[in-house]
Structure formats: structure tokens, C-alpha cells
Amino acid sequence: MAFWLAETIRTILAGDPAAKNGFEVLLCYPTLHVQMAHRLAHPLYRWGVPVLPRWIMQVARWATGIEIHPGAQLGRRLFIDHGMGVVIGETAVVGDDCLIYHQVTLGGTGKEIGKRHPTIGNRVVIGAGAKVLGAIRVEDDVRIGANSVVLRDVPAGATVVGIPGRITFIHGKPVETERASLVADPEGEAIKGLAKRLYQLEEALNSLLPTPEPGVKAAPIGEVEDFIHGAGI
């Protein structure tokens, strides 16, 4: 426990410029407090002790604003920055050296039985408000942007942004937009359809409007509107 505590304090000091010393971290950082509670509750949960593990984590939730199920598996040197509103589900797995910001959810998508929460690899950064849902796998060195919604597996080294989550970079190299989406995007397809239709209407309108002679200014907007109404467009 002493080694884990010292390691976690060093991680926080290295990751947060606002942290001035170990004593301040020990007193003021909820990521440390909730993980201490989890290190007590997790073994009890695995041993099948009823109620007590959940009660320990409930007290930690009241104290820190971070909700972690005692069944979740947390890696070493995890830093939950700020932490308020973070939710980590029962079958979630978080790797080593991860950074999770506030309002992040590692949750499920329904009432499935068994593995229903995400598995997060090593050195993953999850931005504020992001939602990673379902029994998916986020590989090592992934960056998930703030408020993104991720519902599919993410390959190693990817950067994911948006709703739904889209891969924009893999190992620093841009990804083609058409291949970037991690899930179907009906709204995006609808917008593309509207843009295409608008272009077609503009082309049709341009073919109906008289072409001004060289040196002649285009008709005022009122005349264009009269022409459109007169043509029954």
C-alpha cells in the first residue's frame, strides 16, 4: 500500500502543475481518495463479500463525486483529474498510466449480462465529458476528445473526436474522413444529402436565370425574385 501511495502521489505531481507537494495531494486530490477506497473494496468484491464493497464505494462517491464500482479493474498510475461526475462500471478495465478527466463515463449500453463495459488500454487519455460505452476495447495510446461518444473498438494510437466518435489521426497521421466514423452517422448522411440537393437546386436556378451580357450588371435581387415567381419556381 505504501509503494502504491507513493507512486500515485508522484503520478499526480507529475501530471498536474497545480499540485505543489505530496502533502497537498494526500489531502486534496479525490483521485487518490477514491482509489484508496477501491483498493480496499475490490478484493472484498472478488471474494464475494456482500454489501460491504458497494457501501465502501458509495461512501467514496459521496466524498469525491467519483463513482467506481468495486468490480472495476484499475491499472497503476491512474490519474482522474478533477474527477467530479466520473462513472466507471462494474466490468470496466482501465490500463496503466491512463488520464481521465471529469464527467467521463465508462458505461454500458443496456442490461446485458457479463462483460458490458469498456476495456481501456495503457496510456489512454479520455477528455472531459466523453462517453465510452459497451463491451468495446480502446487500445493503447489512444486520445479521446472532450464530449466524444465512442461505441466501437478503437485501434492503438488513434485520436477520436465527435458525436459519434470519429478517428481523425492514427499515430499522428490523418485518416480519410469517409473511413473515420466508428459508428453509423444518420445525421451526417442527412446533411450531406441536403447539401447535394442544395447544389442541384442552385444549378437548376442558374440555368433558368438570364445570363447578363458582358458589361451589364446582374439584376437586382427584387427582379430575380420576380423572375422566380413568374417562372413558377
Closest to 88 in 3D by CA, of 153, 43, 35 = 35
**Domain residues of the chain, as ranges?**
2-179, 186-230
Tell me which residues of the chain have a pLDDT lower than 70.
176-188, 210-233
The per-residue pLDDT for 233 is 47
Q: Which residues pair with 93 in a beta bridge?
A: 73, 119
Report CA-CA distances (Å) from 208 to 94, 218, 221. Answer: 62, 14, 15
Q: Are the C-beta atoms of 39 and 7 separated by less than 8 Å?
A: no
The per-residue pLDDT for 163 is 86
- 2-179, CATH topology level: UDP N-Acetylglucosamine Acyltransferase; domain 1 (2.160.10)
The per-residue pLDDT for 178 is 52
Contacts for 157 with CB less than 8 Å, ≥ 6 apart: 139, 140, 141, 142, 170, 171, 172
The per-residue pLDDT for 204 is 82
